């Protein structure tokens, strides 16, 4: 059995990510297929947390509570934190 290391895999960039369909994250140039969107219960809880955070951060001009959001860390890493 041949073992492939991450360095041997094709590496992609944020520009590549922009052309993909579906839910993907890009970590150090390696694409990861993500699971489908969360169920309604999960969405409702996430929305409640975002609303609570938004209320707590209302006095902070530079703070935001957003769901979901693409977080581009660098040219080879783009994630969607949950």
16-56: pLDDT as tens digits: 999 999 889 999 999 999 887 778 998 899 889 888 998 99
User: Is residue 17 a contact partner of residue 26, using CB atoms and an 8 Å limit?
Assistant: yes
63-74: pLDDT as tens digits: 887 777 888 999
Domain ranges of the chain: 6-79
Pick from 82, 63, 75: nearest CA to 18: 75
Q: Does pTM top 0.75 for this prediction?
A: no
């Amino acid at each position: 059995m041949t073992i492939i290391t991450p360095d041997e895999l094709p590496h992609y960039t944020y520009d590549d990510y922009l052309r993909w369909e579906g839910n993907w994250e890009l970590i150090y140039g390696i694409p990861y297929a993500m699971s489908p969107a969360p169920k309604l219960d999960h969405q409702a809880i996430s929305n409640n947390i975002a609303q609570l955070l938004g209320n707590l951060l209302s006095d902070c001009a530079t703070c935001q509570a957003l769901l979901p959001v693409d977080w581009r860390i660098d040219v080879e890493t783009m994630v969607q934190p949950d």
